[in-house]
Chains A and B, each alone.
Chain A
Amino acid sequence: MSTANKWDDRFEMVVGLETHVHLKTATKIFCRCPTDFGARPNANTCPVCLALPGALPVLNDHAVELAIRTGLALGCEIETSSVFARKNYFYPDLPKGYQISQFDQPLAQRGSVEIGHRADGSPIAIRITRVHMEEDAGKSIHDRFPGASAVDLNRAGVPLVEIVSEPDIRGSDQAEAYVRVLRQILEYVAVSDVNMEEGSLRVDANISVRERGESKLGTRTEIKNMNSISGLVKALDVEFARQCSVIAAGGKIDQQTMLYDANTNEVRPARSKEGSHDYRYFPDPDLPPLIVPLERVDRIRSGMPELPQARRARYKRDHKDLTDYDIDVLTASAAMGDYFEQVARQSDDAKTSANWMLGEVFAALKSTGQSIEHFAVRPADLARLLNMVREGTVSHSAAKQIFGKMVSTGDRPETIAERDGLLKVSDDAALVKWIDDVFAEHPDEVERFLGGEKRLQGVLVGYVMKQSKGSADPKRVNQLLAGRVAT
């Protein structure tokens, strides 16, 4: 933000984002080739996605399903009839010489997403102009073979939705919040892996500036080539500062396409012809209009999972003892929330479940690098562990040890507790043995304790717990210690 700060008092940043998201289908949008990432170059190709003469596209209905879910999740109206159009341009990674996209009649329009709240508590909503379906291009590889470029068409034909926002975003912090919220929503409705590094989520930005108080939009530029959210934020700040200084010096902004270079943190004009394409859009005569009956929209709508905002509200209502921060963390992803809810339900203790999630579970995920979906500890096992603590079968400190073993072995908590002798011991003979050991090792404290220093009882219980490796029942230890003073 440092470069942008000095202009903030005078100028306002106005941003609209175009977000491309890979849909999570097994096969491509117009053929039956697999979409898996990381296959051998050109392994996932066929006559259709290679654009061999005579091949024709056939729309993948599952891609339509996911695109409709996307539209609904973003509050859009789904159009009963939408049209695939050809976007014509030549490039080696575009086999047909045109991209099949949607142009003047997109699948979904007029949505909105809430990305946070203003200081006065009012929500910040970003309007969604449209959501349309299209196919991805292949990849050009320029650095692999000296003196030649290569093309990998595995990605050609992977289904995408493009989500276009209105220029409602003010500032790079809002842009960041928008992308995070979008990503969270798309993950919730399970339409995409939304992984920016693997390219399953890509963002282009339209940015202009205007003097504060001005209502007219300034001339915009389009920035491409941001590979991460932090890249997006930096690119916007750099371009904002550039546009402000041009205008402050009495200059004019050229409407053009800019490329962000993450290595130098610079924004440069793209080669002029990349910005001045005439794509000669026209309806694709190989594909009839996409008809989506209202009944289909209703069916998909009724099968939609809960969205993040609704889940946060529900937690707030149902779990009064959770803080807003707890709730945000627990609802970060649908999988996280689902995990929490299973633990809470099966242990019948939401607060303790939340504490464990925010403490032990998060720490374990972080240290093992696992995702919650593939976490070694299943929610039912964690719930049983919490139940064991509550029922007094294991102590809290033993539970932490057991959890550590569950993470590394995936074993059930009962198995670990028994195997490692961590079940809580309330058998007096064993307890007396440990107490005797502690008395022998700490004669000074014992003498003071027996002499009336009651506050040392806690210290001695601690020693006994340590001696028992956490398995002693502290309640019974306390009783036994109190009994010794009395004798």
Chain B
Amino acid sequence: MTDVLDFSASSLQMAIASGETTARRAVDATFDRMRDVGAGRDGLNILLYQDRHDALTRAVECDADASEQRTRPLNGVPVVVKDNIATSVMPTSCGSKILDGYVSPFAATAIRKLTDAGAIIVAKSNMDEFAMGSSTEHSAFGPAKNPLSHDRVPGGSSGGSAAAVAAGITRIALGSETGGSVRQPAAFCGVVGVKPTYGRVSRFGLVAFASSLDHIGVVGRTVDDAAIGLETISGHDPLDSTSAVEPVPSFRDAAHGGLTGIVIGKPKEYFPDDLDPRIRERCDAALDRLRSLGADVRDVSLPHTKLAIEVYYIIAPAEASSNLARFDGVRYGCRVEGDGLGAMYEATRSNGFGPEVTRRILLGTYVLSAGYYDAYYRKAQQVRGLIAHDFAKVFSSGVHLLFTPTTPTTAFPLGSKADPYEMYLSDIFTVTANLAGVPAMSIPIGRIDGLPVGGQFIASHFDERQMFVAAYALERALGAAALQ
């Protein structure tokens, strides 16, 4: 019999439906795997909270002999969830001391959709505090380690979710993105990471970092795992005013699509002269495969790409400075008393927020201040419009998809990026999709010195399906080559 952990998400659902295995067995195997790889805080530190008891309770429901249970698309499939997505079991602490132990009285819409589909939430994953970071080193609960190479980072901020999937704990994990926080760790951990179009997945229950850039995304072991996960959580939600009223096509159907006649743009700004030649080589090889599958590869340009990091680091901190004001010690989370109200605020927030969060709140407060707003925030929004226009222009010129490297490097050693700006540059190829709101995903396309390299597809608004067609096809074509 197949090891239950070897099942893909959809084959596990079918195996449970047919009685070949049970949800209970899947949950047991998942928790055993967590233990075996040392996923907890005293090991790789990729999971912050686990609830075996609750998961087993759910598993019993999934195993119930009722067909309406068993036909649910993710019935009995274990899922790991990033610690900034509200679940009503286990805390939702955003990797922060200020919310240490906070349990949400409600679940995020994405979580409700997952559990309605039969998925079992097994753990909350480690992350950079409030999703601010690219390495999961900025967690108040200590850095997470890359399961493929323990002295390296798993990427971030959804490092725990990507690492959990890479470590074989679950096939699907939820992450979140503000500038690449699903795709970058997926690339570093050799798994699939997808960020949908802005508005495709409800943000209700995702603890806000920068509302206009925040997305819930999915990490999958394979393209198919990511597709079924994203399909499940997509759709309009009346609880999120920025949620789109757009029909959700089947992303899994994209497995049957072909690339003949599909035009794939290769934007020159994502292949700069100083790009690591080994990464360029893996990308070119992937593009060759895409060509051989019938795609037409074309050189294109997105001229405002070089401004993306600067724009991002004005808009994201500005929104964060406001979004994080609610953590004031008055209603929930930690409170540090002080002499008077002002002193209580200062003590609570100084003690509760780590240095990266503090840095961004200060930066965001500054750029929104009277006299600076026009020079920074307004200007940044204008440039953001130009970046979005770059995509619109290229996609209206007959290009269906873009292909780029996901990151400029492979997973870097823990503690190697002490300079915040250097850390910010690891999002240079991913942040544009958040600024423009277009969907993007990373899939493994090879390895360098044993470390995974991610290739990125970017599609136009609400055209995730096209992106999945290419990802399914490339994944199939690369086969074992993705591990070399």
Interface, chain A (partner B; CB < 8 A): 47, 50-59, 86, 88, 90, 92, 95-98, 149, 151, 278, 280-282, 285-288
Q: How large is the interface on B (under 10, 10 to 19, 20 to 34, 35 or more residues)?
A: 35 or more
Q: State whether A288 touches B242 (Cβ < 8 A).
A: yes
Instruction: List 18 extra interface pairs beyond A53-B86, A97-B326, A286-B208, CB under 8 A.
Output: A53-B102, A53-B104, A54-B206, A54-B208, A90-B325, A92-B328, A92-B341, A95-B330, A98-B325, A278-B369, A280-B365, A281-B368, A282-B318, A282-B377, A286-B241, A287-B242, A288-B241, A288-B242
How far is it, in angstroms, between the C-alpha of A111 and the C-alpha of B345 when the chains are bound?
Answer: 42
- Complex interface bits, B229-264 against A, C-beta within 8 A gives 1, otherwise 0: 000000000111110000000000000000000000
Q: For B53, list chain A residues within 8 Å (CB).
A: none
Does B108 lie at the interface of the complex (its beta carbon under 8 Å from any beta carbon of A)? yes
Q: With A47-B106, A278-B370, A288-B241 as given contacts, are A56 and B328 in contact (CB-CB < 8 Å)?
A: no
* Cβ 8 A contact of A50, one of B86, B102, B324, B331: B331
Hey, which chain A residues are within 8 Å of B212, CB to CB?
A: 285
- Assembled-state Cα–Cα distance A238/B7 (Å): 80
* B322 contacts partner chain A, Cβ-Cβ < 8 Å: yes
Which A residues lie within 8 Å of B211 (CB)? 285-286
Question: What CA separation (Å) do A55 and B241 show in the bound complex?
Answer: 11
Q: B interface, by DSSP: helix, strand, loop or mixed?
A: loop
Complex Cα–Cα for A282 and B92 (A): 28
| Residue ID in chain B nearest A278 by CB atoms | B370
| Distance in angstroms between the alpha carbons of A149 and B344 in the assembled complex | 13
- Chain B 187-212 interface 0/1 with A at a Cβ cutoff of 8 Å (1 = within): 00000000000000001111110111
Contact residues, B104-147 vs A (CB, 8 A): 104-106, 108
Q: CB of B319 within 8 A of chain A? A: yes
12 contacts between A and B (CB under 8 A): A53-B92, A53-B99, A54-B86, A54-B108, A56-B240, A95-B326, A96-B326, A280-B365, A281-B368, A282-B368, A285-B210, A287-B242
Closest Cβ neighbor of A287 among chain B residues = B241
Interfacial chain A residues near B240, Cβ < 8 Å: 56, 58
Contact, CB under 8 Å: A52 / B242: no
- Bound form: Cα–Cα A88–B370 in Å: 12
Which single member of A57, A59, A88, A151 contacts B322 (CB below 8 Å)? A88
Residue among A56, A95, A287 making CB contact with B331, cutoff 8 Å: A95
Given contacts A90-B325, A92-B328, contact A54 B241 (CB under 8 A): no
In the assembled complex, which residues on chain B have CB atoms less than 8 Å from the CB atom of A56? 203-204, 239-241
Alpha-carbon separation in the docked complex, A288 to B332 (Å): 28
Q: Judge if B395 is at the interface, Cβ distance under 8 Å.
A: no
Interface residue? B81 (CB, 8 A): no
Least CB distance from B212 to A in Å reads: 4
Q: How far is the CA of A88 from the CA of B332 in the complex (A)?
A: 20
Residue B373, interface by CB 8 Å: yes
A58 pairs with B241, CB closer than 8 A: yes
Chain B nearest Cβ from A177, distance in angstroms: 35
Query: Which A residues touch B85, using CB under 8 A?
Result: 54
Q: Are A53 and B377 in contact (CB under 8 A)?
A: no
Please give me the residue from chain A that is nearest to B106 by CB atom: A47
B92 touches A280 (CB 8 A): no
CB < 8 Å neighbour of A52 from B105, B330, B345, B377: B105
Residues of A within 8 A of B4 (CB): none
A288 to B212 alpha-carbon distance, docked (Å)? 10
| With contact pairs A285-B212, A287-B241 given, residues A90 and B328 touching in the complex (Cβ less than 8 Å) | yes
A86/B205 in contact, CB under 8 A: no
Whether A88 lies near B99 (C-beta < 8 A) is no
Assembled-state Cα–Cα distance A90/B242 (Å): 26
For the complex formed, measure the closest distance between the CB of A444 and the CB atoms of chain B, giving whole angstroms: 86
Expressed in whole angstroms, the Cα–Cα distance for A127 and B213 within the complex equals 40
Contacts of A288 in B (CB 8 A): 241-242
By beta carbon, the residue of chain A nearest B332 is A52
- CB-based contact B241/A97 at 8 Å: no
A383 vs B370: C-alpha distance when bound (angstroms): 63
Are B104 and A54 interface neighbours, CB within 8 A?
A: yes
**Complex CA distance for A278 and B368, rounded to whole angstroms:** 9
Which residues of B (283-333) have their CB < 8 Å from a CB of A?
Answer: 318-319, 321-322, 324-326, 328, 330-332
- When C-beta atoms are compared, the residue in chain A nearest to B318 turns out to be A282
B94 at the interface (CB under 8 A from A): yes
In the assembled complex, the CB of B14 is this many whole angstroms from the nearest CB of chain A, namely: 33
Chain A residue at minimal CB-CB distance from B204? A56
Q: Say how far A430's CB is from chain B's closest CB, in angstroms.
A: 74
Q: Which A residue sits closest to B99, measured CB to CB?
A: A53
Output the least CB separation between A291 and chain B (Å). 12
Known A-B contacts A90-B345, A288-B242; the reply to A97 vs B328 at CB < 8 A is yes
In the complex, the chain B residue whose C-beta lies closest to that of A153 is B331
Closest 3 A-B residue pairs measured CB to CB?
A97-B325, A285-B212, A285-B211
Q: Which of B72-108 contact A (CB under 8 A)?
A: 85-86, 92, 94, 99, 102, 104-106, 108
**Which residues of the other chain, B, contact A278 by a CB distance below 8 angstroms?**
369-370
Q: Is the CB of B105 within 8 A of A51?
A: no
Alpha-carbon distance between A151 and B242 when the two chains are bound, in angstroms: 30
A53-B86, A282-B318, A285-B211 are known contacts. Are A58 and B238 too (CB-CB below 8 A)? yes
CB distance from B130 to the nearest CB of A (A): 10
- Point out which of A90, A95, A280 has the most chain B C-beta atoms below 10 A from its C-beta: A280
Give complex CA distance A95, B325 in Å: 9
C-alpha gap A37/B59 in the complex (Å): 46
Residues of chain B within 8 A (CB-CB) of A47 are 105-106
- Shortest beta-carbon distance from A228 to chain B in Å: 29
Please tell me if the beta carbons of B108 and A151 are within 8 angstroms of each other in the complex.
no
Contact A285 B319 (CB under 8 A): yes
Q: Are B102 and A58 in contact (CB-based, < 8 A)?
A: no
- Contact B102–A57 (Cβ < 8 Å): no
CA distance A88 to B321 in the complex (A): 9
B357 nearest CB across to chain A (Å):
14
Q: Which residues of A contact B331 (CB under 8 A)?
A: 50-52, 95
Q: How far is the CA of A393 from the CA of B373 in the complex (A)?
A: 78
Cβ of A280 and Cβ of B322 under 8 Å apart? yes
On chain A, the residues within 8 Å of B207 by CB distance are: 53-54
- Nearest Cβ in chain B — how far from A399, in angstroms? 58
Interface centre among A56, A86, A96, A151, by most B CB within 10 Å? A56
Q: Which residues of the other chain, A, contact B365 by a CB distance below 8 angstroms?
A: 280
Residue among B326, B328, B341 making CB contact with A53, cutoff 8 Å: B326
* Beta-carbon contact of B86 and A286 below 8 Å: no
- Min C-beta distance of B438 to chain A, whole Å: 17
- Chain B residues near A90: list those with CB within 8 A: 325, 328, 345
Asked if A280 contacts B368 (CB within 8 A), the reply is yes
- With contacts A52-B104, A282-B368 known, is A151 near B239, CB below 8 A? no
| Residue of chain B at shortest CB distance from A31 | B239
- A9 to B105: give the CA distance in the assembly, Å: 64
Query: Which residues of B sit under 8 angstroms from A59, Cβ to Cβ?
Result: 241
Assembled-state Cα–Cα distance A479/B106 (Å): 86
Q: How far is it, in angstroms, between the C-alpha of A278 and the C-alpha of B92 when the chains are bound? A: 32
| Chain A minimum-CB-distance residue to B207 | A53
Interfacial chain B residues near A282, Cβ < 8 Å: 318-319, 322, 368, 373, 377
- With both beta carbons as reference points, the residue of chain A lying nearest to B329 in the complex is identified as A92
Q: How far is the CB of B294 from chain A (nearest CB, A)?
A: 39
In the bound complex, residues from chain A placing their C-beta under 8 Å from that of B318 are 282
Q: B374 → chain A, closest Cβ, in Å?
A: 11
Contact A53–B94 (Cβ < 8 Å): yes
Contact A286–B242 (Cβ < 8 Å): yes
In the bound assembly, the distance between CA atoms of A388 and B239 in angstroms comes to: 60
- Enumerate chain A residues within 8 angstroms of B108, measured Cβ to Cβ: 54
Q: How far is the CB of B323 from chain A (nearest CB, A)?
A: 9
Known: A47-B106, A282-B318. A96 touches B325 (CB 8 A): yes
Which residues of A have CB within 8 Å of B105? 47, 52
Q: Quick one: given A51-B326, A88-B325, A286-B211, are A280 and B241 in contact (CB under 8 Å)? A: no
- Kindly state the separation between the CA atoms of A172 and B318 in the bound complex, as whole angstroms: 42
C-alpha gap A246/B206 in the complex (Å) = 55
- What separation, in Å, do the CA atoms of A82 and B18 have in the docked complex? 55
Expressed in whole angstroms, the Cα–Cα distance for A151 and B332 within the complex equals: 13
Instruction: List A contacts of B239 (CB < 8 A).
Output: 56, 58
